[in-house]
Structure 1
Amino acid sequence: MFKLLWSVVLLSALTSCATPDFGSPNTYQRYDIQHIGQFEQATILRVRPITIERTSDTSGISSLVSAAAGAFLGSQVIGNGSGRFVAGALSGAASGLIAQRVSATLSRHSGVEIYLRRANGQTVVVTQVDDQRFAPGQQVYLVSNGSGYRITD
């Protein structure tokens, strides 16, 4: 039973996990490098915590692959005869459910919504991951390039 449980957990983690890219202002993609960008100073008016959710795997392929592999492993590890099929069905269902839950959990990241006053008086809002700390009244740089806007201090 322990081998089955360990196989289901390991397989679910492997088939449903991919490191999502939430667009950190400290991380540049290859296509952003060696391109001219612009920046301007701005003042933070308000900072609000948000949750950023990556588009999830709506096709369910990771859950289906995990369920199929779990069913196969379960039928090989536990039982003989018809018990083998029951074990396969139960481990397949468990694998699919675990893969779905892990994928949903990993698709979220904490972020911030930052309200800014630009030097020309215009107010704008930028959202990004929360790997930098900002406070109202703080002077920051609003950086733009082909990928959008980022805020940095």
Structure 2
Amino acid sequence: MFKLISSLILVCMLSACATADFGSPNTYQRYDVQRIGQFEQATILRVRPITIESNSGSSGIASIVSAAAGAFLGSQVIGNGSGRYIAGALSGSVSGLVAQRVSAVMSRHSGVEVFLRRANGQTVVVTQVDDQQFAAGQQVFLVSNGSDYRITH
């Protein structure tokens, strides 16, 4: 029983290798540091919750590795003789399915779509992860580093 639980934990750890970077406005990448950017004040007109999905983990590598590891561990832990091949096939299939589902869940993150009125009257929309709370009517800073925009208080 201990081997079975250890095997399932290992498979789950392997399936968790697929993570996505959603670009938080509170986190800067190394290449963004020590660069001149611009900011301006803007007024929030509307905030709408969204879901941000990353397709970076959709190559299936985590599912294949998890299925292979699950098949190997399942054939070693469960069953004897020819039963171990059936156990390996079943545990490999289940491991691959679990890894695929975990990867799909991890590739999504909650975010916000923020409608802004800039100081010059132009209206723009910025989407970002929801690690800061915004409300209509708030004055915020629209920060730009050339191609990317962030909203912050």
Aligned 8 A contact 2:16 2:99 in 1: yes
5+ residue gaps in structure 2? none
Contact 1:13/1:99 (8 A) holds in 2 = no
Structure 2 match to 1:112: 112
- Partner residue, 1:4: 4
The alpha carbon displacement at 1:20 in A equals 2.0
SS of 1:96's equivalent in the other structure is: helix
- In the alignment, the residues of structure 2 paired with residue 9 and residue 101 of structure 1 have an alpha-carbon distance, to the nearest angstrom, of 16
TM-score normalised by L of structure 1: 0.93
In the comparison of the two structures, how many residue pairs are matched?
153
Cα deviations by residue, 1:88-107 (Å, 9 ceiling, x for unpaired): 00110111011111111111
- The corresponding residue for 1:124 is 124
With 92-101 and 55-64 compared, the bigger mean Cα shift is at 55-64
Aligned CA RMSD, in angstroms, stands at: 1.5
1:38 Cα offset (Å) = 0.3
SS at match of 1:135: coil
Q: Contact between 2:57 and 2:107, CA under 8 Å: does it hold in 1? A: no
**Aligned position for 2:47:** 47
Conserved 8 A contact 2:43-2:139:
yes
* Overall identity of the aligned pairs, in %: 79
Determine the C-alpha separation between the residues in 1 that align with 2:58 and 2:50.
22
Decide whether the 8 Å contact of 2:7 with 2:73 is kept in 1: yes
Amino acid in structure 2 at the alignment position of 1:24: S
Question: What is the TM-score with the length of structure 2 in the denominator?
Answer: 0.93
Distance in 2 of aligned mates of 1:31 and 1:105: 29
Q: Do 2:46 and 2:136's aligned partners in 1 also have CA atoms closer than 8 Å? A: yes
Structure 1 residue 21 displacement after superposition: 1.3
1: distance between equivalents of 2:62 and 2:18? Answer: 10
Which contiguous aligned blocks of 4+ residues in structure 1 show a shift greater than 6 angstroms? none
- Where does residue 143 of structure 1 map in the other structure? 143
CA 1:5–1:98 in 2, change beyond 3 Å: closer, same or farther? farther
Q: Which residue matches 1:83?
A: 83
CA distance in 1, matches of 2:112, 2:50: 5
CA distance in 2, matches of 1:149, 1:35: 14
| Structure 1: gaps of 5 or more residues | none
